[in-house]
Amino acid sequence: MNTIAPPVALTAEASASAPAAKWTVSQVEALYQLPLMDLLFRAQQAHRENFDPNAVQRSTLISIKTGGCSEDCSYCSQSARYKTEVGREALMQVEDVIKAAREAKAKGASRFCMGAAWRGPKDKDLEAVTRMIREVKALGLETCVTLGMLKDGQAEELKAAGLDYYNHNLDTDAEFYDRVITTHKHADRVDTIGQVRAAGIKVCAGGIVGLGETRRNRAAMVAQLANLDPPPESVPINNLVAIPGTPLANSEKVDTFEFVRTIAAARITMPQSFVRLSAGREAMSEEMQALCFFAGANSIFYCDKLLTTSNPGIDRDQALFSKLGLRPI
């Protein structure tokens, strides 16, 4: 059991790098309540105990099937329920995906992530996706897919194709979940993560900040991720990109320091995981990104576009890495 005392008095005995620690919501909320400099110090300690502090993993993400999703995720431009600028597109041809993967590798990406706007993949679609995985893997890239909820046996098929990571975000706290999504339950997400883990695939699971949740909701989300057994190997933290036409189009932006606190809380509670600075980075200043890296973020999406939203260009990222003395993994 975790030996951290109730908030705000966090004990020195609770090592930030103890991977077996179980976290209560109150304990994570206590991290948020620390003075920012103390929180960043603890996060940096945990980061340095487990990673090279000046190395950042770079992933490229593409949408292999865009739009027309039947789910009602309130933040998503690809839901068929909302009128957005995103149209419906068929599954990409395997050859086009391989071309994109080659280009990503040439530009310095080490992982190639493929996303499809499905509630879950049909068996006929999974056949094409497994071929994509095999071909991308053959290029020497790590592979990741996000395909929605999986049926029995599908995780095993993905594993047989050589898949390294499966992304399935918890999005938000279980208690807040039905305020954001009603077409499936938080428990359904956890079930798919369990299937992926049982098949021997690494888990990529994180959440979104700025959905209208409270700080306690954010702390609960971090705790729920940290208490997965084991925690996800990759934890993307997304800053909501408010999409016109979605129910969250007019959401209030989360304060910069609150977002940085979320990165730090993720680093402390999941010290051995890659914490990815994900969606919303295009609107972040260099100073905000630098604070996030100091708070323990050590992975980014390295491409011009994230599924349907913009991302800093590769040239901008290379310039920022140069300024900060960061190097790619």
- Asked if 89 and 118 touch (Cβ cutoff 8 Å), the reply is no
- Six-digit token string for 32: 């948020």
- Asked if 121 and 155 touch (Cβ cutoff 8 Å), the reply is no
Question: Residue 320 contacts by C-beta under 8 Å, 6 or more apart in sequence?
Answer: 286, 289, 290, 312, 326
Element (H, E) at 237: strand 234-239
Residues 42, 58, 189, 204: which is the catalytic one? 204
Q: Is-catalytic flag, 303? A: no
Strand partners, 61: 113
Residues 42, 76, 111, 267: which is the catalytic one? 76
Distance CA 214, CA 218 (A): 6
Pairing assessment for the beta strands 165-167 and 207-209 based on DSSP bridges: unpaired
227 by Cβ neighbours in 10 Å (0-12 / 13-18 / 19+) ranks as middle
Q: Is-catalytic flag, 292? A: no
Of the candidates 221, 227, 199, the one whose C-alpha atom is nearest the C-alpha of residue 209 is 221
Backbone region of residue 63 per phi and psi (left: phi > 0; alpha: psi in -120 to 50; beta: other values): beta
Residues 42, 58, 218, 276: which is the catalytic one? 276
Residues 42, 58, 111, 113: which is the catalytic one? 113
At 196, which amino acid appears? V
Residues 58, 73, 261, 292: which is the catalytic one? 73
Question: Residue 126 contacts by C-beta under 8 Å, 6 or more apart in sequence?
Answer: 147, 154, 157, 158
Residues 42, 58, 111, 144: which is the catalytic one? 144
User: In whole angstroms, how far apart are CA 268 and each of 3, 27, 32, 273, 306?
Assistant: 14, 11, 11, 10, 27
| Token pair 């994900």: residue | 278
What would the DSSP string read from start to end of 53-83? TTEEEEEEEEEEE-S-B----TT-TTBTTS-
The catalytic residue positions are 69, 73, 76, 113, 144, 204, 276
